């Protein structure tokens, strides 16, 4: 059966404003985009008509930085969010341990961020069996010595890259991991996401074949642009070529490598062009081996892979651009579409270089959600006033013809396009501060924001010929938002939701 979507808010990402019109889908393709006056000529007994007036119909959205293993990490084991005392925690650990076979690790998640207690009793009760319960932000965990020895991280140093041995163990349970991926894709579908750039550490610890099975079984609800992030060891190019051979279909492809460069600016580990205002003489609190990063990127580029470098500070961003420029000089010019991820700061002179080198800027458009208020943001303590104006320079990036697209670093945040309007268009922190928005000169309009979420995101993944806009002949990946987000103010935008997602011509989510 054909599907015909009619609306007064059709946003095709080929123009600036939504228009009244219809989209006709047959199979998995868009066969007609027309005006309402033409509609009768395309309706027959085999056509399902979806009346979507008052709702925005747009291309499906692309989250260009997600971490499925992090989604599992956020939910692994028992839920500890209700626990407030050590006694209660130990009782829940005992209950979980009894339900698990043998000496299998006891895991939990969701501890209150303020919760802290000694692991003295835990070590006595479980001298050999690993026990780990992560707090909600996964910046601290309650763990015993057996877990430290088994997995190589500590309660205070348990960020994702430190937990790779644990992730390797979790993903080795293929049945569990598969079931979690199906839930993961349902979550994304409910947000209008029809394509992702997915990060798998190292060789994805055996999960790539499971992803292939899901593709072959035709149960995927989004397209996957898979990348490898070297954590355990350097970039594994043999694995990369094996993935390219494995994923030769239409839904999953192996793109290349995601490489960490600097750290968080607020923790002092971002690499800045200027010194830290609160630490005179310091430009970066961590040592970064740019030579080694350059060596890896040059080799990946030589072999035809795309690299996404994760850089937050403006000095780190400049180094990344320099590395990508060197790729062209040494390996020859090609349409590589390398990317820089996060890019909290970028110097005005470096913005111009992105377009010249074909580099995509993958920004965390919802990052403001991580701070309750303007007062909680770190810029005034660390940056000089002129540098503060270069934070989240979205409009300037577009004005310099940069390919700006978005990611959420899920599980850092869950993609939410209406919420991203609040952050990217109104530039407001969760409590509504500051008045007028944070550096409103860098705000986007809704058309620009949706284009970044769709057209630009697909271009970053070499998909512009079949995805990213609503045009005849393209694949039918669409999202429908239940409210006219072009007219919503900041108070009402948070109530808007995606109410339908169409992937490959099929409705995969309907509220």
Q: Are 300 and 257 in contact (CB under 8 A)?
A: yes
Q: Is the pLDDT at 394 greater than 90, yes or no?
A: yes
Q: How far is CA 175 from CA 74, 87, 172, 204, in A?
A: 18, 33, 9, 15
Q: Which domains does the chain have, with CATH numbers?
A: 2-60+471-510 (2.30.40.10), 68-170 (3.10.310.70), 172-460 (3.20.20.140)
> In a 10 Å sphere around its CB, with 0-12 CB exposed, 13-18 middle and 19+ buried, how is residue 346 labelled?
buried
Q: Are 457 and 64 in contact (CB under 8 A)?
A: yes
**Average pLDDT in the chain:** 97
Find the angle CA(107)-CA(112)-CA(113) to the nearest 5 degrees: 105
182-207 residue pLDDT tens: 999 999 999 999 999 999 999 999 99
304-341 residue pLDDT tens: 999 999 999 999 999 999 999 999 999 999 999 999 99
Mean pLDDT throughout 379-392?
96
Tell me the three-class secondary structure of 437-469, residue by residue: CCCHHHCCCHHHHHHHHHHHHHHHCCCCCCCCC
| Tokens coding 506 | 């099929």
467-477 residue pLDDT tens: 999 999 999 99
| C-alpha to C-alpha distance for 38 and 41, rounded to whole angstroms | 6
pLDDT of residue 15: 87
93-131 residue pLDDT tens: 999 999 999 889 999 999 999 999 999 999 999 999 999
pLDDT of residue 227: 98
pLDDT of residue 102: 87
| Tokens coding 417 | 């396009």
pLDDT of residue 16: 84
| Tokens coding 218 | 């035709």
Mean pLDDT throughout 414-418?
97
Q: Is the pLDDT at 235 greater than 90, yes or no?
A: yes
Mean pLDDT throughout 51-80?
98
| Tokens coding 110 | 């969701």
| C-alpha to C-alpha distance for 421 and 443, rounded to whole angstroms | 10
Mean pLDDT throughout 248-276?
97
| Tokens coding 38 | 């033409």
443-453 residue pLDDT tens: 999 999 999 99
Q: Is the pLDDT at 403 greater than 90, yes or no?
A: yes
Q: Are 423 and 369 in contact (CB under 8 A)?
A: yes
Mean pLDDT throughout 86-97?
97
Q: Are 133 and 89 in contact (CB under 8 A)?
A: yes
pLDDT of residue 48: 96
452-506 residue pLDDT tens: 999 999 999 999 999 999 999 999 999 999 999 999 999 999 999 999 999 999 9
33-53 residue pLDDT tens: 999 999 999 999 999 999 999
pLDDT of residue 421: 98
């Amino acid at each position: 059966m054909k599907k015909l979507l009619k609306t007064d808010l059709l946003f095709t990402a080929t123009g600036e404003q939504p228009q009244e019109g219809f989209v006709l889908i047959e199979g998995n393709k868009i066969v007609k985009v027309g005006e309402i006056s033409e509609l009768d000529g395309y309706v027959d007994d085999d056509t399902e008509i979806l009346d979507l007036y008052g709702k925005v119909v747009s291309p499906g959205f692309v989250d260009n930085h997600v971490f499925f293993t992090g989604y599992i990490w956020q939910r692994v084991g028992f839920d500890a969010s209700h626990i407030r005392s050590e006694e209660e925690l130990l009782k829940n650990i005992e209950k979980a341990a009894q339900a698990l076979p043998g000496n299998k690790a006891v895991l939990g998640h969701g501890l209150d961020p303020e919760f802290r207690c000694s692991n003295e009793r835990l070590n006595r009760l479980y001298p050999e069996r690993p026990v780990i319960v992560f707090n909600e932000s996964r910046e601290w965990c309650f763990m015993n010595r057996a877990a430290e020895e088994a997995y190589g991280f500590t309660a205070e140093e348990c960020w994702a890259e430190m937990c790779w041995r644990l992730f390797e163990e979790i993903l080795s349970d293929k049945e569990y991991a598969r079931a979690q991926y199906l839930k993961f894709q349902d979550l994304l579908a409910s947000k209008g996401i029809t394509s992702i750039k997915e990060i798998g550490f190292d060789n994805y610890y055996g999960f790539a074949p499971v992803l292939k099975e899901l593709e072959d079984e035709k149960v995927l609800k989004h397209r996957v642009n898979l990348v490898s992030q070297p954590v355990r060891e350097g970039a594994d190019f043999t694995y990369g070529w094996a993935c390219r051979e494995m994923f030769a279909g239409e839904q999953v492809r192996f793109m290349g490598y995601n490489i960490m460069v600097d750290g968080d600016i607020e923790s002092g580990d971002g690499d800045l062009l200027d010194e830290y205002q609160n630490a005179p003489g310091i430009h970066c609190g961590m040592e970064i081996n740019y030579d080694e990063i350059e060596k890896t990127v040059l080799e990946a580029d030589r072999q035809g892979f795309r690299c996404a470098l994760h850089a937050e500070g403006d000095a780190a961003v400049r180094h990344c651009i320099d590395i990508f420029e060197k790729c062209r000089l040494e390996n020859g010019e090609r349409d590589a579409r390398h990317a820089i991820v996060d890019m909290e700061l970028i110097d005005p002179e470096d913005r111009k270089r992105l377009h010249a080198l074909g580099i995509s800027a993958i920004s965390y458009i919802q990052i403001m959600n991580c701070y309750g208020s303007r007062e909680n943001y770190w810029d005034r303590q660390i940056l000089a006033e002129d540098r503060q104006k270069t934070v989240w320079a979205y409009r300037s990036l577009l004005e310099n013809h940069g390919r700006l697209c978005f990611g959420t670093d899920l599980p850092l945040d869950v993609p939410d396009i209406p919420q991203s309007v609040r952050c990217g268009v109104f530039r407001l922190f969760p409590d509504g501060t500051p008045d007028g928005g944070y550096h409103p000169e860098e705000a986007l309009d809704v058309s620009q924001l949706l284009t970044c979420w769709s057209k630009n995101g697909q271009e970053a993944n070499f998909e512009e010929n079949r995805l990213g806009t609503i045009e005849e002949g393209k694949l039918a990946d669409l999202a429908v938002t239940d409210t006219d987000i072009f007219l919503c103010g900041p108070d009402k935008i948070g109530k808007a939701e995606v109410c339908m997602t169409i992937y490959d011509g099929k409705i995969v989510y309907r509220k």
